[in-house]
Structure 1
């Protein structure tokens, strides 16, 4: 099989190529419109070749004519299309790749609105009919704190049972904070101008929230086949903008021209308004959950993107926090409901059992809570997790199928995010009407 990079406008497109894969051709077919985005992709590919030589030796075969998509469709069926770029174009790209008999591995989000969700549903039906695989890049399933939180939630003696929570006190809370200006692989990230245009990138409530909703499903309902029509209900949703000066915009884009839609958001103060932030409350199989995503321009010194997660069980809550006191590194905590002697014995036994599969895992007192001490060898950067997703996808491709819960889970996930956007916009309209 060959990898095909289609319009690789986001740096995630290159992260899949940080290593080679068995039975995958070293030649990568690249089809994209001519411009700085494909050039940046090729530069990153060259850097991986140089850093990993001879272990990494990708050979790009590049086509940048205006008919790049039509040329891609002439490729042999059974190859793998890698998608990471303009989200507005993804539904069309996905339909095209699946229709041509190719497998598609797409960066999140695969849909940013109701129309995109409808197209995605059709693509999954086409993929099933054509016996090809369609999958999104859920790197957070491989981050060790998320992995261990899921493992602990599956231990009734330690976690108990997942609680339903209430609208005011959800049983599951996940919040993610991100930054427009950031460093990736030691270099300042240059973002394309459309990344700040929500008509092309999508609003934040349908973007990074994809990871958070996926973790709710993967952690709290492992292996379960979800039906979005019965299992998901959006209770409330809202969005709000991040203000960005034109100088800041030029700094992170390298001087890319403003899109018309983004320029139109500027107020009297000249600041651009980017609706990158969102929050929604929903129930999934009767469990109350709250999802929040926030985008700031730049992180404080020493900080970076952060992830907060809390899952409430009948015996303990499981928390992931990133605090300044811990150097902004993620830390997993167990917070017992009743830390009596009997429970402490169960806690000790449960973590000891976990350490059989993850040697070195231990407990450390942290006030009333207990920190799960994780050896450094388990800690990976976000960028390094893309290869793990690719390896899992190749398992699905070679098997010719995914587990029964994967596709319904993806459909439920994108229904949740896109419907939350619809609810948020309706609420905004009603508030203006009042």
Structure 2
């Protein structure tokens, strides 16, 4: 009898302990996170890349509102793949609503507090405005505006966000690419860089060039692009799309933490736009579509599709002459990929990022000094220590033209990882309840430059 009582007592204690553990686990699982994502009409793979990582302050349940079709399916497939990843799997739970009234439904229900937008750019600015009007924070893929009318609406959206005490922010991943970050860091060191030169329209002090490809691999799979991506009325011309990153880097690198006012500080000098031509077979390879949709007929001649995806902007910023240009090819040669070139000219040295064949198509940063004195060389080593304190393991390697910056592999995390870095930074701002003072005016300036450049290039 005593043995039976002891057994019952032991089992009861185990049950109570298990119950407590379960309640603790349930309480932990059910802890309300301060942030909850709403993904609206995800038509670009960048929407999924925001969810390639989990975030401490973000609820695992994501509310998705979209029109039915292949775009939302592609997004959900990518998120499912991240959930099932062999390393660092995510655990997002997608609650999906599809229907033609998806935006109205989202605004009526407001099941989260951070709207993520990455898709068709034709309506994106309108979605941004309506979301912040409804008191929702917005994290938007670039570009947030693709023409002058969109720019005016975007300005209204920023005013509305300020009024409603919500944060509107765009996804500037290129700030987190290590050579871009180090170029900015070195430009802030007078002992190495000297002073930023003014340059001329023919010989700008700052130049950034970007080469992209329609056919590429993302997360190990061939990227399938939506057919609307090739309609500049829906995606935006190249001069207002990828150049957004380049214009952002110019402002961020040359005038860090400083307000740049488009009405006082910017002069547009010259702009141009050209088309990339695609054959029907190339179009099918990248879209899986057997024919051009009707909305592209305006851009097709003799079965060749012309996409105005290339652009160049020459302008001055606080008196500094800058040039940004973007070029889209169909597919990169074997073993290569998208490339980036950047130069900042200082009175003592030029800071140059190259990503060509000699660099094995990986971005490499160089200091090419114009000051050849012994005192300068000695000063470089001393000044560089502050960079090493911030980025341990980064080293100077002497070459004929100056120095190559050798960067440990741990800093080369890849383009896809930068989305989580942007999202984490945005969440810091949400926690603080505000963006840095310079971010909003500089976003407005950035989109004024790109949209006005398009207007100027088109001559209307």
Question: After TM superposition, is the score higher than 0.5?
Answer: yes
How much does 1:166 deviate? 0.4
The aligned residue for residue 172 of structure 1 is 206
Distance 1:390 1:314 in 2: 36
The aligned residue for residue 42 of structure 1 is 76
The aligned residue for residue 379 of structure 1 is 412
Change over 3 Å in CA distance of 1:101–1:52 after alignment to 2: farther
Stretches of structure 1 that go unaligned for 5 or more consecutive residues are 430-434
Cα contact 2:339–2:356 (8 A) shared by 1:
no
Distance 2:350 2:398 in 1: 15
Match among 433, 440, 452 for residue 407 of structure 1: 440
Deviation by residue 1:334-374 (Cα, 9 ceiling, x = unmatched): 01012221110111112233112211111112321310111
Cα contact 1:199–1:261 (8 A) shared by 2:
no
1:79 matched to 2:113? The reply is yes
The aligned residue for residue 57 of structure 2 is 23
Deviation by residue 1:196-247 (Cα, 9 ceiling, x = unmatched): 1101001000000000000000000011111110111110000000010011
Distance 1:323 1:16 in 2: 29
Distance 2:331 2:295 in 1: 23
Distance 2:46 2:254 in 1: 27
Cα contact 1:237–1:423 (8 A) shared by 2:
yes
1:185 matched to 2:219? The reply is yes
Count of residues in correspondence between the two structures: 426
The aligned residue for residue 346 of structure 1 is 379
Distance 1:23 1:272 in 2: 45
Cα contact 1:78–1:103 (8 A) shared by 2:
no
The aligned residue for residue 3 of structure 1 is 37
Deviation by residue 1:235-285 (Cα, 9 ceiling, x = unmatched): 0000000010011101100116523342222223x2110000000100001
Distance 2:162 2:292 in 1: 40
Match among 162, 167, 170 for residue 196 of structure 2: 162
Stretches of structure 2 that go unaligned for 5 or more consecutive residues are 1-34
Q: Relative to structure 2, which stretch is displaced further, 57-66 or 360-369? A: 360-369
Following TM superposition, the consecutive aligned residue runs of length 4 or more in structure 1 with deviations greater than 6 angstroms are none
How much does 1:308 deviate? 0.4
The aligned residue for residue 424 of structure 1 is 457
Structure showing greater radius of gyration is 2
Distance 2:100 2:197 in 1: 54
CA RMSD of aligned residues (A): 1.3
The aligned residue for residue 101 of structure 2 is 67
Distance 2:343 2:122 in 1: 32
Distance 1:146 1:390 in 2: 18
1:275 matched to 2:308? The reply is yes
Match among 164, 170, 187 for residue 130 of structure 1: 164
